[in-house]
Amino acid sequence: MGFTYPTNGNPNRRTIDHGGVGGRASSDEFGRAVSRIAVAQICESAGFNGVKNSAIEALSDVTIRYLIDLGKIAEFYANLAGRSQCSVFDLILGLEDLEQVKGFIGSGQSQCLLGSGTVRDLMRFVNCGDEVPFAQPIPNFPVIRQRKVIPSFLQMGEAPPSKHIPPWLPALPDPHTYIHTPMWDERTSDPREDKVEQARQRRKAERSLLSLQKRLLLCSGSVETRNTTSNVVVPSGGGASLRQGEGEGGDKNPYLKAPVDNKDVSPVPLPGKLSDDVDMIANHVSVLEAFAPAIEMMRSSGVLCEDDGMQGRTVLPAVRPTVYFKFRAGKKLIHESLDMRNQKKDASRTAALAGREDERDDKKRRAELILKQSMENPQELTLL
Amino acid sequence: MNPNHNPQSSDGGRHDDDAALTEFLASLMDYTPTIPDELVEHYLAKSGFQSPDLRLTRLVAVATQKFVAEVAGDALQVYCRHCKARQATIPKDKRDRQQKDKRLVLTMEDLTKALHDYGVNVRHQEYFADSPSTGMDPATRDE
């Protein structure tokens, strides 16, 4: 047999020590590992306490080669005799071939294979030696993995697209995997409908605001003069005092004040222009005056009456519940809008001192602003 | 061909051998070789050996085990010979210390020598160099 065996020829074998890290694992890794264990066990039974890594790798590789060579030679002898399946005699011949290097008893004589020295040695080995079974159970390998096969046209129930494709071939992929069709938003935009919808929302906002103001008027009328804590400012006229009042109003801003208990009335901060009167009653009048035309219009159209059940709630209880305001960070903040409103009222107030018509226009403008803002925050309509 | 001239005894001998072989193959089924059946079957299938008979597989496994055991035995003998040769040169007290903690380890040099008898020439790299000029005399090294 003689062949030269270079030990470090296989670079992949080094990776066995590191578990396959740093190198591609060959497909034979499992077989090599198993033969390593088997060879180590045999060496142990031969009397060795330990084995060097390089030595065990070399010996396991030689073992595998021996197995393969024996199979090849036995198959060769079987084919030589015109058979495809090997018999025991083919094996014995193969063994004799491999053992010719070392020599065995009866190698020189061509005798019946049944009495060959190889077999006798083997028998002696089996009978005398201790039985050392393999250390671990091994599954049947190599394990054949079930490949995911593309179903054929017949299996899919599809007909091939053209005659030249037979139906037993794998089916073609679905068109959605390779065709990309752009998608458009199918919503039809009706500008008239949009305008109608917008007007409807505006009317709704107006209605709820007016009803709120009405309730406030009624409610604050029934409350005694404890409302000194309210943010009713005391300007007599002129921008300077108003600014001072604004400062006071800013101090007494109910938003910044924590509600102590339900008894404490925390009134809604009225717009600065509307709160230029001394007491609330006059204030109410001005508010009523401001919204009178709008309320009249609403009443005439009967829209206010058929509002969402506000009738029953026109008379509020003496104790007013705390009003919770929702602050939304994304949209315009309420306090911001308040400031804006106050600033605008500053500007508009000096201008509106001229005449009542202008005043009314300003108030209408303010009402419009409030409505616009409430429209932009549709969720807050529900609060109102 | 049987060199025996006596046909009857040769027939008897053959029958004996035949019986011995069949008995041996049957006994193989009880014996569990160290090399597992799955490994043997895998590598035999790789080389084209086709046999549905498990006894033949066991026979191959046993033969391989015998081969490896012989190699290991020869390597052990080589090692012992080495040890004895080394011990002859060492003074006595060190020898006692060595004998206490002697661990038989299979090394490449023993294996090489043992496999050489079987016709397997194992070439083992003794050391690895960083570059072709490592270890050379600095005077003769090309700069």
Summarize pLDDT for A143-195 with one digit per residue, the tens: 667 778 888 888 888 888 888 988 888 888 888 888 888 887 777 778 888 89
How many domains are there within chain A?
2
For an interface test with B, which of A59, A79, A90 has the most B Cβ atoms less than 10 Å from its Cβ? A59
Residue of A nearest to B3 (CA): A111
A119 and A77 in a common domain: yes
Contacts by A103-107 with C-beta closer than 8 Å and gap 24+? none
Domain boundary among A66, A94, A128: A128
- Residue A72 touches chain B, beta carbons under 8 Å: yes
- Whether residue A60 lies inside any domain: the answer is yes
- Whether residue A342 lies inside any domain: the answer is no
A157 and A83 in a common domain: no
A108 and A163 in a common domain: no
Cα–Cα distance measured from residue B3 to residue B140, given in angstroms and rounded to the nearest whole number: 68
Cα–Cα distance measured from residue A354 to residue B24, given in angstroms and rounded to the nearest whole number: 130
A120 and A162 in a common domain: no
List the CATH number of the domain containing A67.
1.10.20.10
A104 and A46 in a common domain: yes
Q: Kindly determine whether residue B1 and residue A7, on different chains, have CB atoms separated by under 8 Å.
A: no
How much is the ipTM here? 0.81
For residues A21-45, give the mean pLDDT. Answer: 82
Which is more confident, A330 or A101?
A101
- Whether residue A107 lies inside any domain: the answer is yes
Mean pLDDT of chain A: 71
Query: For B23-68, how does the pLDDT look when each residue is reduced to its tens digit (9 = 90+)?
Result: 888 888 888 888 888 889 999 988 988 788 889 999 999 999 999 9
A165 and A91 in a common domain: no
Neighbouring CB atoms inside 10 A of A28's CB total 17
- Whether residue A289 lies inside any domain: the answer is no
- Whether residue A338 lies inside any domain: the answer is no
pLDDT, residue A350, reads 52
User: Which residue range forms the structural domain that includes residue A169?
Assistant: 146-177
Rounded to the nearest angstrom, the minimum Cα separation between A149 and chain B is 26
Q: How many CB pairs under 8 A join A and B?
A: 217
Which is more confident, A221 or A34?
A34
- Whether residue A155 lies inside any domain: the answer is yes
A159 and A100 in a common domain: no
| pLDDT band of A11, cuts 50, 70, 90 | very low
pTM above 0.80, yes or no: no
Cα–Cα distance measured from residue B130 to residue A149, given in angstroms and rounded to the nearest whole number: 50
- Whether residue A208 lies inside any domain: the answer is no
Orientation of helix B108-116 relative to helix B54-87, angle to 10°:
120
Residues 6+ positions from A311 with CB-CB distance below 8 Å: A305
- Whether residue A184 lies inside any domain: the answer is no
Among A39-53, A256-270, A369-383, B55-69, the range scoring the smallest mean pLDDT is A256-270
For chain B, the C-alpha Rg in angstroms (whole number) is 25
Q: Kindly determine whether residue B107 and residue A119, on different chains, have CB atoms separated by under 8 Å.
A: no
Q: Kindly determine whether residue B69 and residue A95, on different chains, have CB atoms separated by under 8 Å.
A: no
pLDDT, residue A259, reads 57
Instruction: Give B52's contacts in chain A (Cβ within 8 Å).
Output: 85
Tell whether the model's pLDDT for residue A261 goes beyond 50. yes
Instruction: Give B24's contacts in chain A (Cβ within 8 Å).
Output: 119, 122-123, 126
Tell whether the model's pLDDT for residue B17 goes beyond 50. yes
Residue of B nearest to A137 (CA): B36
Rounded to the nearest angstrom, the minimum Cα separation between A25 and chain B is 18
Instruction: Give B22's contacts in chain A (Cβ within 8 Å).
Output: none
Query: For A216-238, how does the pLDDT look when each residue is reduced to its tens digit (9 = 90+)?
Result: 988 887 764 455 444 444 444 44
Query: For A82-137, how does the pLDDT look when each residue is reduced to its tens digit (9 = 90+)?
Result: 998 999 899 999 988 888 777 776 666 666 776 677 888 888 888 887 766 666 66
Strands (E), B1-141: 105-106, 120-123
Query: For B62-99, how does the pLDDT look when each residue is reduced to its tens digit (9 = 90+)?
Result: 999 999 999 999 999 998 888 888 877 776 666 665 56
Residues 6+ positions from B39 with CB-CB distance below 8 Å: A31, A34, A35, A38, A67, A138
Q: Kindly determine whether residue A88 and residue B59, on different chains, have CB atoms separated by under 8 Å.
A: yes
